Structures are given as C-alpha cells and as structure tokens.
Amino acid sequence: MVAPTREIAPGIHWIAEPGPDRSHFIEDQYDRHPAWYDPADSLHVPQHAYLLDDEESLLFDTLSPACKPDIVETLTERLDDGLDYLVVSHPDVPHAGNAMAILEAFPDATLVAPAYGNAHALYHLDDAVHVAAGDTINLGALEVEFVEASFPDAPIHIWMRELTTETLFPVDWLGYPHRGVETMAFPAEFDTELTVDRLVQFHGRVLFWFQYVDVDAVTAEIDRLIQDFEPVIVAPGHGNPIREGATDVMARAKEVVAAVQRDGRVGTLG
Ligand SMILES: [Fe+2]
Ligand SMILES: [Fe+2]
C-alpha cells in the first residue's frame, strides 16, 4: 500500500503515517473536551517523511517500521530515476527505522546523517555522509541547508530547510495531534485554530523536558529561529505542515514551553 502523500510546495511531497487512534490522550485528561477535539472521531499523532523531488531527489526521514513496505512502495512509484539522498534527522525509530529497507530498495542513494554525537552504529549511520549546520545539498531548483536542531531529541540530531520555498523541517519540534477528519489537511483547512493546548498535547509528552528548561532562553531561541529563517512553510515531523501563518504558530510555541513548565509532563506517547 502506498502511504498518503500531498504536495506542500512545488516538488516537496509530504508523506504521512497517521498512526493509531490516541483519543485516550484527551479522554483520560479532560473533563470537558477542547474545541479542536471530537469524541466521535479518532485522534492521531503522525509520523512524517518529506520527499524533495527535483533533478535529484532527497527523502527526509523514513516513517516507522510499521510503514516499511508502504514507504518503499511510495518511493518506487514516485521516483523514475531512483532516490539520490536519504537524510535521517535523528536515530529515533519513527524517523530512522526504515533507513536500511530504503537503502536496500535504492542502493545508489547516499545516506546523510547528522555530524553530531558518536553513537552512529544504530541504523548504520556511521557509514553515512555527515552534515552539520550550514551544509547544503543542491537538488536542481530546490536546495536544502541543514540547520542546528534548536530543541534536539537526541545527541545526534539535525533539522533542515529548503531555501527557495523557505520551508523549515523542525523534527521533533512543533508536533501536534490531528483528528481523523483532518488527515492530510493543512491547519488552514481545519475547523478550529491550531491552539496552544493542542501543541501542548505533543510537546508535554515528547519534549517533556521543557518543564526543566529556562523559559526565557527557549523563548529567545524561538525568536531567533523566526528572525533568522522567517519560514513561509513549517513542515514538522509529527504535525501536519503549516503553510499559512507559520511564524505565528512558531511564536505561539513560546506559550507551549511556559505551559509545560507550569503544568509538567502531560503523559507519554503510548
Ligand atoms: Fe525524536
Ligand atoms: Fe519524533
């Protein structure tokens, strides 16, 4: 089965793995349902990969092993000339878990991994080309630049941006759950705003260490990201891509840090 895909900008394809129903996140926690939640619908925290398909092609992240045949079939169907680059943001299973299967299907692809850290044996990242912030790969009209992960989830971690479309790919930052009816929809197509409490449902579970950080320092770093990159599109690893008001959502994430700090860890991702 191919994975659901949608173009978010010319040549940039969002590939999604919605994952299981996680309605219990809300049912277990709230007495009253938030406006963005529908008890009659399912709730998902997705995994995303992004395919940049130009003169050369680049896949950013791999989806989880539950989607192994799907991601390989999706790429095989889409790529006439094979895959040129496979970039892994960090060695977490939902991001890197299909690296070997993809390299087996596309043996000419160059594996690209973060230059940071030294525990690369997992997923064979020690064999990869290592990239650091500022390094670029030109794909034709599209060109990616690697960006330091401001809020890393692993010692080995890199973010990416695409320069011509001004798209930022911040894995795992800016994840959030979506309802079944919102699958493959952009937030501008949702019935409700992308609110702080919805963003907290992800950050309070995955980036739960926000409860220990210096809120002012994180706030300043978010301001720096907005100022330095001014992305038109934000394409997160666990949230539907934001194509309108992307910097507004980034700014809203400052309140997320304060909320996690105030209320503590929301729960796990189970
Ligand atoms: Fe992660
Ligand atoms: Fe993740």
CA of 30 to the centre of ligand 1 (A): 26
Alpha-carbon span 9 to 67, nearest angstrom: 24
CA of 138 to the centre of ligand 1 (A): 26
- Does a structural domain hold residue 82? yes
- Does a structural domain hold residue 269? no
CA of 149 to the centre of ligand 1 (A): 11
CA of 238 to the centre of ligand 1 (A): 9
CA of 95 to the centre of ligand 1 (A): 7
Please state the pTM of the whole predicted model. Answer: 0.96
Residue 234 C-beta-side C-alpha neighbours within 13 Å: 27
72 pLDDT above the threshold of 80? yes
Contact 256, 199 (CB under 8 A): yes
Q: Show the domain range for 81.
A: 5-263
24 pLDDT band (50/70/90 cuts)? very high
Domain count, the chain: 1
CA of 172 to the centre of ligand 2 (A): 5
At which residue do the structure tokens 């299967």 appear?
A: 101
CA of 96 to the centre of ligand 1 (A): 10
- Does a structural domain hold residue 27? yes
Question: Residue 66 corresponds to which tokens in the numbers above?
Answer: 């539950």
Phi, psi of 66 (to 5 degrees): -60, -20
Residue type, 241: P
pLDDT at 247: 98
CA of 153 to the centre of ligand 1 (A): 5
Question: Residue 168 corresponds to which tokens in the numbers above?
Answer: 């930022």
Beta strand pairing call for 57-60 and 85-87: parallel
31 pLDDT above the threshold of 90? no
- Does a structural domain hold residue 270? no
- Does a structural domain hold residue 206? yes
The CATH number of whichever domain residue 196 belongs to comes to 3.60.15.10
CA of 105 to the centre of ligand 1 (A): 25
- Does a structural domain hold residue 268? no
Express each pLDDT in 198-251 by its tens digit: 999 999 999 988 899 999 999 999 999 999 999 999 999 999 999 999 999 999
Beta strand pairing call for 143-148 and 129-131: unpaired
